Amino acid sequence: MKKLINEPDDVVREELEGIAAAHGDAVRVSLDPAYIARADAPVAGKVGIVSGGGSGHEPMHGGFVGRGMLDAACPGEVFTSPTPDQMLEATKAVNGGEGVLHIVKNYTGDVLNFEMAADLAKDEGIEVEAVVIDDDVAVQDSLYTAGRRGVGTTVLAEKICGAAAEDKRSLHEVADLCRRVNGAGRSMGMALTSCTVPSAGEPTFELGDDEMEIGIGIHGEPGRERMPLEPAARVVERLAGPVVDDLDLSEGDEVLAFVNGMGGTPLIELYIVYNELRKLLDGRGVRIARNLIGPYITSLEMAGCSITLLKLDDELTRLWDAPVVTPGLRWGA
Amino acid sequence: MKKLINEPDDVVREELEGIAAAHGDAVRVSLDPAYIARADAPVAGKVGIVSGGGSGHEPMHGGFVGRGMLDAACPGEVFTSPTPDQMLEATKAVNGGEGVLHIVKNYTGDVLNFEMAADLAKDEGIEVEAVVIDDDVAVQDSLYTAGRRGVGTTVLAEKICGAAAEDKRSLHEVADLCRRVNGAGRSMGMALTSCTVPSAGEPTFELGDDEMEIGIGIHGEPGRERMPLEPAARVVERLAGPVVDDLDLSEGDEVLAFVNGMGGTPLIELYIVYNELRKLLDGRGVRIARNLIGPYITSLEMAGCSITLLKLDDELTRLWDAPVVTPGLRWGA
Amino acid sequence: MREADPGGHVGVSVESASAWVRAWADAIATNKQALTKLDSAIGDGDHGTNMDRGMKAAVDKLAGSAAADVGTVFKTVGMALVSKVGGAGGPLYGSLFMQMGSAAGGESELSPEGFATAFEAGVNGVVARGKAARGDKTMLDALLPAAEALKEAVGQGTSWPDALRRAEEAAREGMEATIPLVARKGRASYLGERSAGHQDPGATSSHLLVECATETLAKGSS
Amino acid sequence: MREADPGGHVGVSVESASAWVRAWADAIATNKQALTKLDSAIGDGDHGTNMDRGMKAAVDKLAGSAAADVGTVFKTVGMALVSKVGGAGGPLYGSLFMQMGSAAGGESELSPEGFATAFEAGVNGVVARGKAARGDKTMLDALLPAAEALKEAVGQGTSWPDALRRAEEAAREGMEATIPLVARKGRASYLGERSAGHQDPGATSSHLLVECATETLAKGSS
Ligand SMILES: Nc1ncnc2c1ncn2[C@@H]1O[C@H](COP(=O)(O)OP(=O)(O)O)[C@@H](O)[C@H]1O
Ligand SMILES: Nc1ncnc2c1ncn2[C@@H]1O[C@H](COP(=O)(O)OP(=O)(O)O)[C@@H](O)[C@H]1O
Ligand SMILES: [Mg+2]
Ligand SMILES: [Mg+2]
Ligand SMILES: [Mg+2]
Ligand SMILES: [Mg+2]
C-alpha cells in the first residue's frame, strides 16, 4: 500500500485535523463525534442541510460545507457510513429553527444510520426530512433489492439544494427540490484500477493490465462487468449511453454534464472524456448548458471516471449558478 | 498503459478541444499553433501574462487562464516545452499595448523556446520581459549547471502577477514582482509512483512497492534519492525541512503553504500532509497565513506530492487574495 | 425432557453474557482480515475492520460499566455498536443487541427459554431495521435459522449445550448456503449475478456470534 | 593529398543533403523507442517522440519545397525543428540546421571543406544557444568531436568518405564517453550523481546524424 498517511487507523482523524487547520475560517470541525459544520452555523431562519457518508470520497462531503451548499457533513471511517450520533450532533449544530434536510446516498449503511439519526433528532424536537439519492444506472432498480446507488448526482443535489436553502425556502420545498434533482440526474462510472482501503492494506479488487471495470460504485466495489480496455470514445459511449437512455433525453434538452475523476485520474484525461461526451450529446441534439469537470466524488486513489447528466430547467440552472463558497466548489463570491 | 485516452498522439489536441468546449465562455482556444487565451484578450492598457510548458501538468497552465491570472498559456506536447511559434502567437494575442510578461519554468527546453519567442516578438515590436522560475530545492543550484527547476512557485507567481497586472501595473513592475515571488518561494516534491507518458506507453521509472522517490521534478524525471516508504510525518520533514532552511524562515514569519498533489494522490492524503506541515511549521513558530491544497501542478497520474512555501508580506498577501476567475483557481468573483 | 442439571443452574448470567460478548470480540479480531476479504469480494472491504472497531468499543464499555442484569449487558453492546461501527453492520448488529436487551429486561439470569426468546427478538430487530428476508444473502441467512433452531431445541427439552450446538450448526449451514446466492440486499446486490459464488461476510460474522455462544453460554451447565 | 575523384565530383549537393536529412529521419524513427528509453533513464522520456515528430515534419516540408541550394535545405529543416519539436531538442537541433544553412549560403553544392565549415558553424550554433561545454553530458559531446574530426580530416586531404567515417567514429566515441559523466546541463543535471552510468539521449541522436552522413553524403564519390 502506497499512501501519504501515518497509521491507517488515524487517517480520518488526521484528515479532519488538516481540514480544520486549513479552513478554520470557514468551517468548524468537531472530532468526536466527527462532523464539519459551517463556521456560522446555525444560520437562523434557514433550513439546514446535512449530508455524510464514508470518507475516501473527498472533496465530498466535507469539502462542500459552506455558504450555498452544505451546513454540515459527517465523515465516517473510510468507505463506512458515519454513525447516528455524528448525524444527530451535526443536525443539532445546524438547526436554525427551520428544520434540517438529510441528503443520503442510497447505501444500506447510510440509509439505516441516517434513519436512526432522524428518529433521535425528532425526539429532540428537530424537524428532519431525508432524501435518498439513487442515480446510478449501473445498478438495476427493483423493489426487492437495495436499489440503485447514490453517486454523482449527490454533488449536484447538495449544490442546488444549498442555493435553495440560502433563498430561505422551507424544509418541505428544499426536500421536494432534492427529490426533483434526484429524478433528473443519472450517473455511471468505470475504473481503470482498484483502490486500497487503508485499513485493508490491499487493493479491493485486482484488474489486469489490459482490463477495465464498467459500472463501479464509489467504494471499490467491483462493477457490473469486466472487459478489455477501450479508447475513451468507446468508454464514454458505455457510460453515457445508459444515462441518456434512462433520462430519456431527446433533441433540444439541456443538461449539466459532470465528468468526475475517481481520484487517481488526472484532469488531462477528464477533458478528453468531456470532449467525447460533448460529441456524443451533440450527435443526439442534447445541449450541454453547464458543466463540471474534476475529481469531486472520488474513490480514494482509484483511476477512472464517472459521467453524470442532470436534465436542466430554468430553476435548476439558476440555482446551480448561485454563489457557492466551499473549499471544494466555489464561484460567485 | 491505463489511461482514458484515444490515440497517444491525439492527447493534447483532444484535451484542448475538451477545454474549448467546456470553457468557451471564458477562454479562446487556438489549436494550431496551440494556445489558450482569455476570451476578452487583449485587455487594453493591461500587461499581458503568458506562460506555457509541456502538457501533463493540468490544471497548470491552461486552467489558470482568466481574469486575475494568465492572459494566455501555451501547451506543448506531454512534458515537452511548446515551440516559439505558439508563444509568439499567444504573445501577439494578449498584447494590450503595455507589453507582455513571459513566466518561464527553468527547464532548458522552456527557456530556449521562450528566448526564441521573445526575440521574434520583439522583432514585431512587442515589449517582452521573461522571468524564469527556479524554486526547486531538490536541485543544487550552480552557475555551471542548468540550475534549479521551476515547480510549485510557478502557480503562485502566476496568481500574484495576474492580480498585479489587473491593477494596471507596468510590465517592469509586474516582472519585478515575479522575480520577488520567485525569490520568496521554494519547493520540494516526492513520488510514490512513476507516471507514463502516453507516447512512451511505459512508466518513466520503476519504483518498488515499498519505495518512494524524493526530490522529483514534474516530468517523471527520477528524483535525487530513492528510499523506503515512510509515514507522512517523516515525508513532510524531508520535503519541508530543506524548504524552510533555504528560505531561512524564522519565528514570526508568515507563509503561504501550498500542498500540491502530483495527479494520482487523492485529497484525503493531501490534508494529512497539510496537517503534518502545519505541525512542523508550528514547531518553528512560522505562521501559515494562507494555504492552497490540491492537484495544481501535476505530473500526469503520478502519485505523490510537493510542498511549496512562499514567504508572505502584506503586498503578496493582498495580491493573493485578489479575485481570480479561472477554471483551475477561483475566488472573489 | 431436559436432563437434570448437576451443576446447579442452566442459563445465561451477566457473567456468561459478558463472556459471550468478549469471545465474539476476540473471534472478530482473529477473523478481521478474513471478514474484510469476504467483504472485498462482494462489498467494500470494511466489514472486519468495522466490526473489530465496534466490538473493541463494546468490550471497553462493558468493562467500564457494572451491568446488574443481562438486558443491560446487551443494550450496552448494542449502543456501542450503533455509535462506533457505522456502515450496515452498525445499525443491524446494534439492533440485534438492543432488541435482545429489551426482551431480556431486568433479569440477572436468563433461562434457556428466556435466552432463546431474547435472541429471536434480536434477530427480528435486524429484520425490522434492514427489511431483508431469508435468501437475500445477508447476515439473516445465518441468524434466522440459528434463532429457529435454538427455539425448537429448547422447546424440545434438548440439553442447553446441545441446543446451542444445534443453533451453531444451523448458523453454519445458513452461512454456507449464502455462497451460491445472488444478493438482493446490501452492497453485494449491486453486483447482480457476480455476487454468486462468494460467502456473505455478515453471515460469516453472525455464525461466529453463534459459535461463541456454544463456547461461553453453556458454561456452568452439565 | 586528396585522391582523384573518378566519379566526377565530391561534395554535398541539394539531393545528397536532402537524402541525409531523410536518412536521419528514418534512423530517428527506427530508434524512437531506444532514444525515449535513454531519455526515461535520465530525462523525461520524450526525446525519441519529439525528434520523430520534428523530423517527419522536416521531411514533409522539404518534399513540399523546391530548395535550389543546400543552405535552403538546412534552413527548412531547422525551421521545421524549431516549430515542431519543442523541448530542448527543438531549439538546439533547430539552431544546428539554421546555422548550417546560413554558413552554406546559396551554394547548390558544397565542397568537403564547405560542408565541414558549415557543420562546424551549426555545432557552434548549438553551443551559442545552449551554453553547454564538452563534458556536460549533452549532444555536444558527440557533435563537437565530430565537427573537429571532419575539419581535420578534410584539411589533411583524407578522402571524403573516410573523412565522414572519422567524424562518425569521433561522434561514437563522444557518445559513449557520456556514459560515466555526471550531467551539468539539461534535465539529466537534476539527477546529480545518479545521472552517471547512462548514455545521453541527445548525444545518441547526434551520433545517428553523423552516421547517416557517412551513408548519404559520400554518395556519388569514389
Ligand atoms: N438489509 C440488510 N439486512 C440484513 N443484513 C444486511 C443488510 N444489508 C447488508 N447486510 C449485511 O451487512 C453486511 C455488510 O456489512 P458491512 O460491511 O459492515 O457494511 P457496509 O456494506 O455498509 O460496508 C453484509 O455482508 C450483509 O450480511
Ligand atoms: N544546454 C544544452 N546544450 C546542449 N544540449 C543540451 C542542453 N540541454 C539538453 N541538451 C540535450 O538535449 C537532450 C534532451 O532533449 P529532449 O529530450 O528533446 O528535451 P527535454 O529535455 O526538454 O525533454 C539531452 O539528452 C541533451 O543531449
Ligand atoms: Mg462500508
Ligand atoms: Mg521534454
Ligand atoms: Mg462493507
Ligand atoms: Mg526529454
The reported pLDDT for the residue numbered A140 is 76
Per-residue pLDDT of chain B (333 residues; tens, 9 = 90+): 999 999 999 999 999 999 999 999 999 999 999 999 999 999 999 999 999 999 999 999 999 999 999 999 999 999 999 999 999 999 999 999 999 999 999 999 999 999 999 999 999 999 999 999 999 999 877 667 788 999 999 999 999 999 999 999 999 999 999 999 999 999 999 999 999 999 889 898 899 999 999 999 999 877 888 999 999 999 999 999 999 999 999 999 999 999 999 999 999 999 999 999 999 999 999 999 999 999 999 999 999 999 999 999 999 999 999 999 999 999 999
CA-nearest of B57, B9, B119, B70 to B261 is B57
Mutate-to-test residue for ligand 1 from C35, C47, C50, C195, highest number of ligand atoms within 8 A of CB: C47
CA distance to partner chain C, nearest, from residue A216 (Å): 9
Give, rounded to a whole angstrom, the gap between the first and last alpha carbons of chain A: 40
A213 to chain B, any CB pair closer than 8 A? The answer is no
Give kind and range of the element (H or E) at residue B211.
Answer: strand B211-214
Which of C138, C175, C199, C209 has most ligand 1 atoms within 8 Å of its beta carbon, as the pocket-test mutant? C138
Place of cell 515499498: B210
DSSP SS3 for B286: coil
| pLDDT the model gives residue C7 | 44
Residue A81 CA: distances (Å) to CA of A103, A323, B147, B276: 13, 29, 50, 26
Query: Closest Cα to atom 13, ligand 1: which residue?
Result: C202
pLDDT of B81 reads: 96
Look at residues C46, C59, C120 and name the one whose alpha carbon lies nearest to residue C89. C46
pTM: 0.94
- Report pLDDT for B143: 64
Give the model confidence (pLDDT) of A14-67 as tens digits.
999 999 999 999 999 999 999 999 999 999 999 999 999 999 999 999 999 999
- The full length of chain D comes to 222
Q: What is the pLDDT of residue C1?
A: 40
Q: What is the pLDDT of residue B142?
A: 66
Shortest Cα distance from A128 to chain C (angstroms)?
19
Query: Which helix or strand (DSSP H or E) is residue A255 part of?
Result: strand A254-261
Q: Which residues are CB-neighbours of D15 under 8 A, at least 6 positions away?
A: none
A-facing residues of B in 254-293 (CB < 8 A) are: 263-276, 278, 288, 291, 293
Largest CA distance in chain B: 55
Minimum distance, in Å, between the CA of residue B223 and any CA atom of chain A: 17
Nearest Cα neighbor of D144 from D163, D167, D123, D122 is D123
Q: Are D62 and D73 in contact (CB under 8 A)?
A: yes
Question: How many Å apart are CA C24 and CA C21, to the nearest integer?
Answer: 5
**Cα angle: B101, vertex B102, B106; to 5 degrees:** 140
Atom of ligand 2 nearest to the CA of B219: 23
For D156-198, give the DSSP string. Answer: TT--HHHHHHHHHHHHHHHHHHTTTPPP-SSGGGGGGGGGTTS
- Ligand 2 atom at minimum distance from D200 CA: 25
What's the pLDDT at D9? 61
* Angle, CA C7 vertex, CA C4 and CA C13 arms, to 5°: 110
Task: Report the candidate in A235, A143, A157, A144 with the shortest Cα–Cα distance to residue A192.
Answer: A235
Please list every protein residue whose CB sits less than 6 Å from any atom of ligand 2. Answer: B 80-81, 108-109; D 39, 43-44, 46-47, 50, 87-89, 92, 126, 130-132, 138-140, 185-187, 200-203
Residue whose C-alpha is closest to residue D213's, from D148, D160, D135: D160
Cα separation, B91 vs B102, whole angstroms? 8
Query: DSSP readout, D78-122?
Result: HHHHHHHT-TTHHHHHHHHHHHHHHHHTT-SEE-HHHHHHHHHHH
Cβ within 8 Å of residue C63, ≥6 positions away? none
Reference D144, options D78, D200, D72, D74; nearest CA is D200
Strands D12-13 and D109-110: antiparallel
Query: Does D194 contact B224 at a Cβ distance shorter than 8 Å?
Result: yes
Could you tell me which chain A residue has the CA closest to the CA of C92?
A112
Question: Atom of ligand 2 at shortest distance to CA of D42?
Answer: 25
| CA angle at A35 for the pair A29 and A37, rounded to the nearest 5° | 60
Average pLDDT of the residues in C165-179 = 98
β pairing state of B211-214 and B185-191: antiparallel
pLDDT bin (cut points 50, 70, 90) of residue C3 is very low
CB count, 10 Å around CB of B141? 13
* Burial of B125 from C-beta contacts in 10 A (0-12 / 13-18 / 19+): exposed
Radius of gyration of chain B (CA): 19
> Which of C91, C189, C192 is nearest residue A116 as measured by Cβ atoms?
C91
Option in A79, A81, A217 nearest C190 (CB): A217
- Residue of A63, A264, A273 with shortest CB distance to B301: A264
Whether residue C201 has a cis bond before it, omega within 30° of 0: no
Cell readout for B66 is 482568466
ipTM: 0.92
The answer to whether B152 touches B187, Cβ cutoff 8 Å, is yes
Pocket lining: C204 vs ligand 1, CB cutoff 6 Å:
no
Chain B 173-202, CB below 8 Å of chain A: which residues?
Answer: 192-193
Closest CB to C45 among A112, A116, A197:
A197
Strands A100-105 and A128-133: parallel
Chains B and D touch (3+ CB pairs under 8 A): yes
What is the DSSP annotation of A120-144? Answer: HHHHTT--EEEEEE--BTTS---TT
* A19 within 8 A of A29, measured Cβ to Cβ: yes
Distances (CA, A) of B286 to B8, B251, B280, C169: 45, 5, 9, 64
How far is it, in rounded angstroms, from Cα A45 to Cα A48?
Answer: 9
Tell me, what's the pLDDT at A203?
92
- Residue A142 pLDDT class (50, 70, 90 cuts): low
For residue A219, the chain C residues in CB contact (below 8 A) are 43-44, 187
CB atoms within 10 A of CB B314: 8
Measured between alpha carbons, how far is B83 from B62 in angstroms, rounded to an integer?
16
User: Under an 8 A CB cutoff, do A273 and B18 touch?
Assistant: yes
Residue of A nearest to C188 (CA): A221
Residues A275-309 as b or e (16 or more Cβ within 10 Å = b): bbbbebbeeeebebebbbbbbbbbbbbbbbbbbbb
Alpha helices in A60-125 (DSSP H): 84-94, 108-123
Asked if residues A34 and A90 have their Cβ atoms less than 8 Å apart, the reply is: no
Whether the predicted pLDDT of A8 surpasses 60:
yes
Strands B304-311 and B211-214: what pairing?
A: unpaired
CA distance B261 to A267: 12
C84 to chain A: nearest residue by CA? A83
Residue nearest to atom 22 of ligand 1 (CA): C87
Residue nearest atom 25 in ligand 1 by C-alpha distance = C202
| Cell, residue A270 | 477528464
Q: Using one digit for the tens of pLDDT, what is the confidence trace for A196-218?
A: 999 889 898 899 999 999 999 99
Radius of gyration of chain C measured on its C-alpha atoms? 16
* Contact between C100 and C86 (Cβ < 8 Å): no
Q: Which of A23, A57, A61, A102 is catalytic?
A: A57
In this structure, chain A runs to a length of 333
Catalytic annotation on B219?
A: yes
Q: From CA D180, how far away is CA C10, in angstroms rounded?
A: 84
- What is the residue whose three cell numbers read 501515518? A6
Query: Does C contact B via 3+ CB–CB distances below 8 Å?
Result: no
CB-CB neighbors (< 8 A) of A146 in chain C: 184-187, 189-190
| DSSP string across C118-163 | HHHHHHHHHHHHH---TTSSSTHHHHHHHHHHHHHHHHTT--HHHH
- Check if A109 has its Cβ closer than 6 Å to any atom of ligand 1: yes
CA dist., res. A92 & res. A121, Å (int): 7
Say yes or no to pLDDT of A187 above 80: yes
Farthest-apart Cα atoms in chain A, separation: 55
Rounded Cα–Cα distance for residues C43 and A204 (Å): 9
Q: Is C46 in the pocket of ligand 1 (CB under 6 A)?
A: yes
Neighbours of C115 (CB within 10 A): 28
Name the closest residue on chain D to residue B145, using Cα atoms: D184
In single-letter form, the type of residue at position D61 comes to K
Closest to A50 measured CA to CA, from A105, A6, A8, A7: A105
The counts of H helices and E strands in chain A are: 8, 14
Q: Which ligand is nearest to the CA of C45?
A: 5
Q: Which pLDDT score, from 0 to 100, does residue D8 have?
A: 47
Give the integer Cα–Cα distance in Å for C2 and A123: 46
Which chain B positions have a beta carbon within 8 Å of A193's beta carbon? 2
Separation of alpha carbons C38 and C44, rounded Å: 9
**Run of H or E residues at B247:** helix B232-247
Which ranges of chain D have pLDDT less than 50?
A: 1-8, 220-222
Give the nearest partner residue to C44 out of A144, A145, A219, using CB atoms.
A219
Contact A22 B305 (CB under 8 A): no
Would you put residue C186 in left (φ > 0), alpha (ψ -120 to 50) or beta?
left
